[in-house]
């Protein structure tokens, strides 16, 4: 419903979507979504996108590459995960991912599980180490909670490196509980003041 979609994107500080959304839409609906996002961006919303490549959801790797590249063209903050990008584009290292995406998007944060996240802003790379968790219970929702923490911090005016630290703390709290959700107060405490 293009009308409802456009209305939902009106006057938002941030618009956030994922490659999983692209994967489950028909080609025409995908176009409708990306047009609406482009319009919201032109009207002043910041756009964040997590490519979140899931091979089983796509007809072909080529189709995923094309759709995800189109989405990156309307993105201000890209939040990929290294193993996904490695599968989809054959990147050898997170540095390669950050460099490749940094040519398309102004702000990139490459997540990599328990390893450091790599930030690329205007050609400058900065690794931000993750929080060490001795015994992760369940990593479901790790990437999504990182994204939530990062974007909340950026909207609150924190710089990318500070936002990544907060995001790692939020994600570390989430991997220590079963399921994708931790209690809100736990997340708030991890995010910090
Ligand atoms: N074993 C772990 N120990 C500590 N932090 C982790 C661990 N696994 C994931 N995280 C946190 O979750 C974030 C996202 O995890 P990752 O596995 O890269 O994403 P996704 O869930 O998208 O595959 C990491 O950047 C890190 O902050
Ligand atoms: Mg992910």
Which ligand is closest to the CA of 137, given by its number? 1
Q: Report how far Cα 122 is from the mean position of its chain's Cα atoms.
A: 18
- State residue 89's pLDDT score: 98
- State residue 47's pLDDT score: 98
Contact call for residues 161 and 128 (beta carbons, < 8 A): yes
Q: Say how many Å lie between the CA of residue 52 and the centre of ligand 2.
A: 5
Which residue positions in the chain have pLDDT lower than 70? none
Give the orientation angle of helix 61-72 with respect to helix 82-89, to 10 degrees: 120
Cα 78 to Cα 108: distance, rounded to the nearest angstrom: 5
Given 50, 76, 115, 144, the catalytic residue: 144
Q: How many residues does the chain have?
A: 193
What are the structure tokens assigned to 62, written together?
Answer: 């080529």
* Closest among 100, 137, 93, 90 to 115, alpha carbons compared: 93
Q: Say how many Å lie between the CA of residue 81 and the centre of ligand 1.
A: 9
What are the structure tokens assigned to 121, written together?
Answer: 């802003």
Question: Which residue's CA is the nearest one to ligand 1's atom 25?
Answer: 111
């Amino acid at each position: 419903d293009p009308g409802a979609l456009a209305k939902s994107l009106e006057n938002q500080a941030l618009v956030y979507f994922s490659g999983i959304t692209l994967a489950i839409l028909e080609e025409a609906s995908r176009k409708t979504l990306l047009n609406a996002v482009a319009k919201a961006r032109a009207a002043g919303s910041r756009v964040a996108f997590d490519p979140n490549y899931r091979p089983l959801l796509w007809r072909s790797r080529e189709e995923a590459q094309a759709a995800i590249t189109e989405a990156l063209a309307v993105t201000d903050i890209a939040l990929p995960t290294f193993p996904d990008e490695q599968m989809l584009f054959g990147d050898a290292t997170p540095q390669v991912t950050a460099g490749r995406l940094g040519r398309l998007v102004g702000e990139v944060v490459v997540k990599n599980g328990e390893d450091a996240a790599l930030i690329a802003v205007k050609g400058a790379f900065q690794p931000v180490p993750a929080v060490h968790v001795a015994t992760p219970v369940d990593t479901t929702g790790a990437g999504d909670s990182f994204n939530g923490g990062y974007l909340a911090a950026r909207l609150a005016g924190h710089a990318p490196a500070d936002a990544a630290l907060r995001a790692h703390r939020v994600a570390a709290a989430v991997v220590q509980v079963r399921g994708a959700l931790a209690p809100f107060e736990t997340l708030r405490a991890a995010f910090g003041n």
